A and B are shown apart, each in its own frame.
Chain A
Amino acid sequence: MGALKEAASLRRPDFMKFGVIVFPGSNCDLDAYHMVRDVLNKPVDYIWHQEKTLRGADCIILPGGFTYGDYLRPGAIASFSPVMEAVKSFAENGGLVLGICNGFQVLVESGLLPGALYRNIHLQFRSAWAYLRVENPDLPYTRKAAAGHVLKIPVAHGDGNYYCDPETLEQLKKYNRIAFRYVTAGGEAEPGANPNGSVDHIAGICNARGNVLGMMPHPERAGEALLGSEDGRLIFESILEHWGESA
Chain B
Amino acid sequence: MTEKLHQMMGLSDDEYDLIQELMGRKPNELELGMFSVMWSEHCSYKCSRKVLQLFPTEGANILLGPGENAGIVDIGEGLAVAFKMESHNHPSAIEPYQGAATGVGGIIRDIFTMGARPVALLDSLRFGPLDDLRVKFLFEGVVSGIGGYGNCVGIPTIGGETWFYPNYQGNPLVNVMCAGILPAGRIARGMASGTGNTVILVGACTGRDGLHGVTFASEELTDTSEEQRPAVQVGDPFMEKLLIEACLEAIERNLVAGIQDLGGAGLTCATSEMSSRAGSGMVIHLDRVPCRENDLTPYEIMLSESQERMLMVVEQEKIEAIKEIFDRWGLESSAIGHVTDDGLLQVYNHGNKVAELKAEFLTEKAPEYDLPAQEPPYYQELKSQDLHSLPQPHDLEQSFLKLLSSPNIASKNWIFRQYDYMVRTCTVQGPGGDAAVIRVRGTNKGLAFSSDGNGRYVYLDPYKGGMMAVMEAARNVSVSGAKPLAITNCLNFGNPKRPQIYWQFKQAVEGMAAACRALGTPVTGGNVSFYNETSGEAIFPTPVVGMLGLLDDVSRQVKKGWSRDGDLVYLVGDLQGSMAGSEYLYVVHGMLAGEIPAPDLERAARLNQCLVKLAAARLLSSAHDISDGGLLVALAEASIAGNRGIEIELSLQQDTRIDELLFGEGQSRVLVSVHPAEEKELLDKVHQAGLPCHRLGTVGGSQFIVTTGGEQQLALPLDQIKATWEEVIPRCLS
Interface residues of A (CB under 8 A from B): 24-25, 27-28, 30-31, 34-35, 64-66, 68-71, 124-128, 154, 156, 158, 218, 220-221, 223-224, 226-227
Contact = CB atoms under 8 A, between A and B. Distances in A.
B428 interface: yes
A224 B427 CA distance: 11
B253 interface: no
B329 interface: yes
B425 A227 contact: yes
B248 interface: no
Given A125-B418, A226-B439, A24 B242 contact: yes
Given A65-B154, A125-B418, A127-B420, A221 B238 contact: no
B454 interface: no
B428 A66 contact: no
B424 interface: yes
B40 interface: no
B420 A220 contact: no
A124 B144 contact: yes
A127 B439 CA distance: 20
B631 interface: no
B384 to A, nearest CB: 47
B587 to A, nearest CB: 28
B152 A28 contact: no
A44 B153 CA distance: 23
Contact of A221 (B153, B237, B330, B422): B422
A156 B422 contact: yes
Contacts, number: 86
18 contacts: A24-B330, A25-B152, A27-B153, A31-B423, A66-B151, A66-B152, A66-B238, A69-B239, A71-B238, A125-B151, A125-B418, A126-B418, A127-B416, A127-B417, A127-B421, A156-B422, A224-B425, A227-B426
Contacts of B148: 125
B670 interface: no
Given A66-B151, A127-B416, 15 more contacts: A24-B241, A25-B152, A27-B152, A27-B153, A27-B154, A27-B423, A28-B154, A34-B441, A64-B423, A68-B238, A69-B241, A127-B419, A156-B420, A226-B554, A226-B555
Contacts of A28: 154, 423
Contacts of B554: 226
B417 A126 contact: yes
A32 B427 CA distance: 15
A223 B147 CA distance: 24
A221 B239 CA distance: 25
A127 B422 contact: yes
A18 B513 CA distance: 52
A223 B426 CA distance: 11
Contacts of A223: 425
B726 to A, nearest CB: 13
Contacts of B423: 27-28, 31, 64, 156, 221
Nearest to B154: A27
A128 B422 CA distance: 9
Interface string B270-283: 00000000000000
B418 A69 contact: no
B241 A66 contact: yes
A227 B329 contact: no
B287 interface: no
A221 B425 contact: yes
A156 B428 CA distance: 16
Interface string B131-153: 00000000000001001100111
B679 interface: no
A218 B422 contact: yes
Q: Which of B236, B241, B419 has the most CB of A within 10 A?
A: B241
A224 B554 CA distance: 13
B425 A34 contact: yes
A227 B427 contact: yes
B237 A227 contact: no
B147 A125 contact: yes
Contacts of A35: 425
A59 to B, nearest CB: 19
A24 B329 contact: yes
A176 B148 CA distance: 35
A34 B426 CA distance: 11
A31 B152 contact: no
Contacts of A128: 417
A227 B156 CA distance: 13
Contacts of A25: 152, 238, 241-242
A156 B238 CA distance: 17
Contacts of A71: 238
Nearest to B554: A226
Nearest to A126: B417
A38 to B, nearest CB: 8
Contacts of B236: 69
Contacts of A158: 151
Interface in B227-254: 236-239, 241-242
A69 to B, nearest CB: 3
Nearest to B414: A124
Contacts of B152: 25, 27, 66, 69-70
Nearest to A30: B424
Contacts of A156: 151, 420, 422-423
Nearest to B236: A69
B470 to A, nearest CB: 29
Nearest to A65: B154
Contact of B420 (A30, A124, A125): A125
B732 to A, nearest CB: 15
A25 B422 CA distance: 17
Interface in B289-337: 329-330
Contacts of B154: 27-28, 65-66
Nearest to A31: B425
B331 to A, nearest CB: 10
A9 to B, nearest CB: 33
User: Most chain-A Cβ atoms within 10 A of its Cβ — which of B237, B422, B427?
Assistant: B422
A222 to B, nearest CB: 9
